[in-house]
Amino acid sequence: MNNRFLLTRRHIIQLVFEMLVGGIGTAVTSRFINFNNQLQARDNPNKKFATDGKFSLKERAAIKDLIYGAAIQYSQLLSDRELANQVKCECKMLVPEWELKWFTGKQSLRPSPGRFDFGRADWMANFAKAHGLLFRGHTLVWHEALPPWFQNTVNSQNAEQFLEEHIKTVVRHYAGKIHSWDVVNEAINPSDGRSDGLRKTPWLKFLGSDYVELAFRFAAEADPQALLVYNDFGLDYDTPENEAKRNAVLKLLERLKSKSTPIHALGMQAHLQGDKTQFNSKKLKNFLRNVAALDLKILITEMDVADKNLPVDIKVRDRIVAATYEDYLSVVLDEPAVIAVLTWGLSDRYTWLSEFQPRRDGARVRPLPLDANFKRKLAWNAIARAFDNAPHR
């Protein structure tokens, strides 16, 4: 009997559970069959992701001249001593999840048109320095996290002045203390219908398609030493949307390089989905190679693996999440231009996916290397194994 349809005891229990919770229609159709057909093939109960725990992720990465780090919020780092200890133990790089965006609520970087509040980001930069971590900035230009005053203040006449003032003030403030900047974030969205693939954002509306080049030039003037990165998501899978995005991002990078724009790297956010099966290592490898051929480095900047559509069984979820980390990283780390891997968070206790991609069953999501009690998971093993198996830079 084809074991894809073998109804193991676990599956029967799950099916009954889903019938009780979601009703027969829900249980029998989408999730269970979806799991059985597509995900069981991905879940290898015999795969142990064996590795020793002797060396941390930062140590394993460093052996291959790679960098491992994580995005963390100021409030979490300040209030959670265990988190701070784990960041020191596992990470070589720290990126503020919120604090270098224009606006993320109270005590933001840009509380008003004429003000910059560096308090929180400075505290994080000092934390990084005190503990020998590299510090990276996210993000100077984005269509999200804009302050409430932006809409009524910035317009076509003054947008370039606001762009230049923001970039130069912030980049100068951290000049010499920053490893890299996400200068422009998520500027490509092919479904907006433009031939250049640019996302229709306020910056595009006010400044035209050259705003991306302008941003990089302002950043380079402010800190000639910083690695300047274009950062985006949706570049990972063998789907029409991701293919279109890869092509449009490559076109943007080629255009920028053809104009000698001071851009040094592509940031691939790598927000992956544990239930997504359209993973084509050849296409991904080819994209990485095409980016590297532009004399650009590559950073994996916001990696996590969403488990919202995976079965509730933690053992199954953790195995599939770990396999997704290992499959993806084994491909990207084969590309010598890849210099860093950052996860968007370090522990399941603090992940944006709890809010942005919650599970319908209400179970805590498990997308990151450490669980909510900072215990290493199979995902940690998978990242460790990927670093161990990566070629030396």
Residues near ligand XIL (CB under 6 A): 97, 185, 233, 269, 302, 352
Q: List the catalytic residues.
A: 186, 302
Q: Which is nearer to ligand XIL, 51 or 86 (CB)?
A: 86
Residue carrying structure tokens 């979490």 = 76
What distances in angstroms separate CA 190 from CA 84, 198, 244, 248, 379, one per listed residue? 39, 7, 7, 7, 32
Q: Which is nearer to ligand XIL, 246 or 271 (CB)?
A: 271
CB of 352 to ligand XIL, least distance (A): 3
Q: From CA 181, how far away is CA 156, in angstroms rounded? A: 25
Q: Which is nearer to ligand XIL, 309 or 354 (CB)?
A: 354
CB of 97 to ligand XIL, least distance (A): 5
Q: Which is nearer to ligand XIL, 103 or 233 (CB)?
A: 233
CB of 329 to ligand XIL, least distance (A): 19
CB of 170 to ligand XIL, least distance (A): 15
Query: Which residue's C-beta sits nearest to ligand XIL?
Result: 352
CB of 105 to ligand XIL, least distance (A): 9
> Residue 286: which of 320, 327, 230, 335 has the closest Cα?
335
